[in-house]
Amino acid sequence: MCPAAAPSRPAPPAEPAPTGRAHWLRVAREAADDLATDTVVREQAGKAPLDEVSRLREAGLLTLPAPAGSGGGSADWATAYAVVREISTADGAIGQLLGSHYFLSWSARFFADPGVARRTAERSAAEQWCWGGGFAPQEPPLTLSRTSRGLVLGGRQSYPTGVLVADRVAVRAVRGDTGEPLAVVVDPARPGVVVDAAGDTFGQRLAAGGSVEFDDVPVGGDDILGSLSADEDHLVPRAALAAPVGRLFSVQLLLGMAEGVLAEVREYSRTGHRPWQPVPSAGSPDDPQVLTAYGELTVLTRSASALCDQALDSVRHGLERGEELTYDEYADVSALVSMAETAASRAAQESTTRALDIIGPRSASARLGFDRFWRNTRTHTLYEPVTHRLRDVGDYFLNGAHPPFVLPA
């Protein structure tokens, strides 16, 4: 006879998962350490980052900013920025992928009416969507046309981030009848959507960039998130904050790559040389020129980081102002983020270039993979140039002109 089964006991109530900033930064650090173990091999292979996205999803980082009630981490923007920066120290391409995902997945909060924004956020968190795409203007634009079957999307978008692994693609489309630019989200599994890899980039190979062809793809009411018009008659200041909020992810990405290359090169300088060499070699920690170079790059990166912190505080204050935010206040936020973008771009380009000089010929080794920092940084800065940011800051400082509404690429 089988022994009687013990009476079942009710399961103890599950303890709520920790969701504080310290918890998520620890998770991000662990994810970055995990990515760092094979980042050189993965980057050189250049495959679509399906495995990397799975790692982020399992760590809970894809749903980090979503409300806890929807299965998210309820993290604020400051935490999301810090997570992107942490990931970028190990893998700049995955940092770009994650930052773009955060911005696009929350874009409905800026552009859509509350009902659409809530439904989009809840479903995205519940199904753990990975978002790709982008809202930057392009030529020729995607078009949204009205037919007897309803609205359809047509055209081709080139090199939007994340499209090779996206569960949803967010794009900018122009209405065929009015010319108004709109934010539209599309399921890439729909008929008429064709995604192709961009296999010729020398950097950011794991950012899952590619091109997307839309051939009369049906678009429903909840698929249209809202207007992207830069006209101040239509764009309220709070919605305009979408631009500096999105561009601040670029700042974090650049700072992460600058800090990442300096950390790796420093470790190599400390441990990568034979102790019996009679004189300091290129990259030696005893070389005065090396010490000076490290000092200059540290000052440059820390200065850009301090300006980034100021921009982050400004963005946080703007978001807290909500509907009371004025255009003048928005201009302050946008100008400060532009300053941070410029400083971070310079810090990243200087650090990733001069780090190779510090190491010398050894830095050309594909096995070490130092070159990936330079290639990733240079690719990103080609898509997000900062020359016009300086012009906007100068015009704001001298003439009080409001910086234009420019969404990240």
What mean pLDDT is predicted for residues 2-8?
37
Q: Is residue 79 part of a domain?
A: yes
**Which of the listed residues 112, 127, 142 is the one where a domain comes to its end?**
127
The burial of 374, by beta-carbon neighbours within 10 Å (0-12 exposed, 13-18 middle, 19 or more buried), is given as buried
What mean pLDDT is predicted for residues 42-57?
95
CATH number reported for the structural domain that contains residue 143 in this entry: 2.40.110.10
Q: Is residue 3 part of a domain?
A: no
**Which of the listed residues 190, 206, 227 is the one where a domain comes to its end?**
227
Q: Say yes or no to pLDDT of 58 above 60.
A: yes
The pLDDT tens digits of the residues spanning 334-380 come to 999 999 999 999 999 999 999 999 988 988 999 999 999 999 999 99
Q: Do residue 74 and residue 137 come from a single domain?
A: no
Q: Is residue 320 part of a domain?
A: yes
47-51, 197-201, 213-217, 270-274: the lowest-pLDDT one: 270-274
Q: Do residue 181 and residue 275 come from a single domain?
A: no
Q: Do residue 141 and residue 197 come from a single domain?
A: yes
Q: What is the pLDDT of residue 409?
A: 82
Q: Do residue 48 and residue 146 come from a single domain?
A: no
Q: Do residue 392 and residue 255 come from a single domain?
A: yes
How far CA 375 is from CA of 47, 56, 269, 406, in Å, comes to: 17, 23, 21, 25
Q: Do residue 389 and residue 257 come from a single domain?
A: yes
Tell me the residue range of the domain where 250 lies. Answer: 237-399
**Which of the listed residues 194, 227, 260 is the one where a domain comes to its end?**
227
Q: Do residue 115 and residue 264 come from a single domain?
A: no
Q: Is residue 409 part of a domain?
A: no
The Cα 405–Cα 327 span in angstroms is 11
The Cα 252–Cα 269 span in angstroms is 25
Q: Do residue 261 and residue 167 come from a single domain?
A: no
- The helix/strand/coil state of 249 is helix
CATH number reported for the structural domain that contains residue 77 in this entry: 1.10.540.10
Q: Say yes or no to pLDDT of 155 above 80.
A: yes
The pLDDT tens digits of the residues spanning 212-263 come to 999 999 999 999 999 999 886 678 898 999 999 999 999 999 999 999 999 9
Q: What is the pLDDT of residue 399?
A: 97
The pLDDT tens digits of the residues spanning 299-323 come to 999 999 999 999 999 999 999 999 9
Q: Do residue 255 and residue 364 come from a single domain?
A: yes
Q: Is residue 6 part of a domain?
A: no
- What percent of the chain shows pLDDT beyond 90? 78
CATH number reported for the structural domain that contains residue 306 in this entry: 1.20.140.10
Q: What is the pLDDT of residue 200?
A: 77
Q: What is the pLDDT of residue 233?
A: 67
Q: Is residue 196 part of a domain?
A: yes
- Total structural domains within the chain: 3
Q: What is the pLDDT of residue 287?
A: 82
User: By the 8 A CB rule, do 57 and 128 touch?
Assistant: yes
Q: Is residue 232 part of a domain?
A: no
Q: Do residue 283 and residue 136 come from a single domain?
A: no
How far CA 259 is from CA of 6, 25, 87, 302, 305, in Å, comes to: 57, 16, 11, 9, 10
Q: Say yes or no to pLDDT of 275 above 50.
A: no
Q: Do residue 42 and residue 140 come from a single domain?
A: no
**How many other C-beta atoms lie within 10 A of the C-beta of residue 111?**
20
Evaluated on CA atoms 303, 305, 307, 313, the torsion sign reads negative
- What percent of the chain shows pLDDT beyond 70? 91
Q: Do residue 241 and residue 271 come from a single domain?
A: yes
The pLDDT tens digits of the residues spanning 63-83 come to 999 988 888 899 999 999 999
Q: Is residue 404 part of a domain?
A: no
Q: What is the pLDDT of residue 386?
A: 93
Q: What is the pLDDT of residue 280?
A: 43
